[in-house]
Amino acid sequence: MSTQTTTLSGRSIIAGHEVAGSAGTTRGIDPATNAELEPSYSLIDEAQLAGATAAAEDAAASFGALDPETHAGFLERIAENIEAVGPEIVARAGAETGLPEPRLNGELARTTGQLRLFAKVVRQGDHRGVRIEPALPGRTPLPRPDLRQRRIPLGPVAVFGASNFPLAFSTAGGDTASALAAGCPVVFKAHNAHPGTGEIVGRAVTDAVRECGLHPGVFSLVYGPGASIGQALVKDPAIRAVGFTGSRAAGTSLMAAAAARPEPIPVYAEMSSVNPVFVLEGALRGDVEALARGYVTSLTGSSGQLCTAPGLLFAPAGEAGEAFVVAVERALADAAGQTMLTPGIAGAWQEGVEALGAQQGVDVVARGGQGPTENAPAPVVFESDVPTFRANPVLQEEIFGAASLVVRYASAEELADAARSMEGQLTATLHLAEEDHRTESALLPVLERKAGRILANGWPTGVDVGDAMVHGGPFPATSDSRTTSVGTLAIERFLRPVAYQNIPDALLPAPVQQANPWRLNRRVDGALQLADAPTQEPAPEGDRA
């Protein structure tokens, strides 16, 4: 297990080897001071990138055939290696992102927790989706062949680091963990905003590959010049799927590149969401001050740089809604800006705020205070109404950071119409009391078609990692609403089904062999057969309807 202090090299790690790039350099920047950080990172060109993808292709067969215990042990070793250098990771990530130590420690724990969760998934093996239909030679009018199905890894996956989560959605984060758990080698495109953090974590993964005796092409970490190397990675014929978290413009660009390949591949992109909150009449008969504080806390946490931040809230017109807006104004007055991830993100936030404030029918409700650094702008909340909201698409655009829009609605019908007019979202939140159940029951079917996760009487920030979580949603929240990027279901993005017909048992892969040597839960002749049950397949029958 890796325990030594990491000396940053400023180089890519391709199949276990340090590689100096030949396409320029980049540096991390401390957003609290705008100071450049050492070392500089050399950027690889397309020819060097091809070495990483070729190594991943070479590793795919052996890695995809690992037995569950070896495979799970590898994921656990990555977690152990990351924890061994945890203080270094947190210190460097803090310098590169401005995020506070408690937030980064929590994110570190989430990263290792995800890896260990997927190790449990690998050991249990349900993701392999084994289905068996034994031969029925006597079936009429035609015999049934012996059919066995399992899911296999797609092959090498390109993963792009997210700006706002330097750990949990980055080098060894959710997309990497789920792809590796599926048995897919990963070529990871480091985010240039936190290159040192990526290198420390990348070395922990690389060490685990070596320590577990795996093919070195299982993992590569590459630094490249922005969009050009990302496009080249997606277009590389060795890459079979893409995991991405970032802007809508960048995500749709990758989707277009993947679709234009001679052999198109899936892109699982999380992109844009304003995460609407619907405050119903009954909720305002309770503690309005607490409700307003909860909204402001959710909006301003991590400077609003969370993909589930509430960028939109619907509140009733009339006195009750006005009391809530006044409470929001008071709560926001106590909130100061926090340093944003990069000067560029802070600049984009400012542009978005100015564009929203310039729209007709949009007014400022309140602003917080400027934070301690140049890149810590004051959070802001705007106000408008449903007719204006529905008539102007600018009011639906995400502003990445602590800015939100309160939209006042006149009736339950107007609220439902507003919800129907919205784009796809990661989350939708309802604040309601028992008296609101009739309104909620009419709104819920609309929200099911608009969002991947629906909450009641809570706030969307904070995503639990487990079996039942969905972190996805209709476009543009994600590129594929059938999937999630958080939770154990994420592994299914990187698998595909294969059926084996009349293949001799000795030649079958272990998951579908009659003896079930990996002790997997399997569906045999339509019935679930648990791993701890005696291995038994139905005897051939003469006839079956």
List where CATH 3.40.309.10 sits in the chain. Answer: 277-456
CATH for 277-456, options being 3.40.309.10, 3.40.50.300, 3.40.718.10, 3.30.1490.20: 3.40.309.10
Kindly report which listed range (264-273, 477-486, 513-522, 528-537) carries the lowest average pLDDT score: 528-537
Query: Residue 540: what pLDDT?
Result: 45
Give the mean pLDDT of 325-349.
Answer: 96
Task: Report the distance separating Cα 219 and Cα 16, nearest Å.
Answer: 8
**Which is the catalytic residue, given 307, 383, 398, 440?**
307
Task: For 194-250, write each residue's pLDDT tens digit.
Answer: 999 999 999 999 999 999 999 999 999 999 997 889 999 999 999 999 999 999 999
Q: Would you identify the CATH topology of the domain 12-271+487-491? A: Aldehyde Dehydrogenase; Chain A, domain 1 (3.40.605)
CA nearest neighbour of 159 among 18, 267, 46, 27: 267
Query: Residue 234: what pLDDT?
Result: 98
Per-residue pLDDT band at 33 (split at 50, 70, 90):
very high
Angle in degrees, 0-180, between the axes of helices 226-235 and 46-64, rounded to the nearest 10? 40
Count of CB atoms situated within 10 Å of the CB of 416: 18
Average pLDDT, the chain: 95
Query: Residue 544: what pLDDT?
Result: 30
Task: Report the distance separating Cα 422 and Cα 432, nearest Å.
Answer: 20
The answer to whether the CB of 443 falls within 8 A of the CB of 430 is yes
The answer to whether the CB of 276 falls within 8 A of the CB of 428 is yes
Task: For 387-405, write each residue's pLDDT tens digit.
Answer: 999 999 999 999 999 999 9
Query: Residue 536: what pLDDT?
Result: 53
Give the mean pLDDT of 277-287.
Answer: 96
The answer to whether the CB of 345 falls within 8 A of the CB of 304 is no
Give the mean pLDDT of 429-452.
Answer: 95
The answer to whether the CB of 341 falls within 8 A of the CB of 193 is yes
List where CATH 3.40.605.10 sits in the chain. Answer: 12-271+487-491
**Which is the catalytic residue, given 57, 76, 107, 270?**
270
Would you call 96 a catalytic residue per the annotation? Answer: no
Question: For the CA atoms of 316, 321, 322, 326, what is the dihedral angle to 10 degrees?
Answer: -130
Considering the entire predicted model, what is its pTM?
Answer: 0.94
In this predicted structure, the answer to whether residue 379 has a pLDDT above a threshold of 90 is yes
Task: Report the distance separating Cα 231 and Cα 226, nearest Å.
Answer: 9
Task: Report the distance separating Cα 112 and Cα 94, nearest Å.
Answer: 18
In this predicted structure, the answer to whether residue 174 has a pLDDT above a threshold of 80 is yes
Would you call 212 a catalytic residue per the annotation? Answer: no
In this predicted structure, the answer to whether residue 186 has a pLDDT above a threshold of 60 is yes
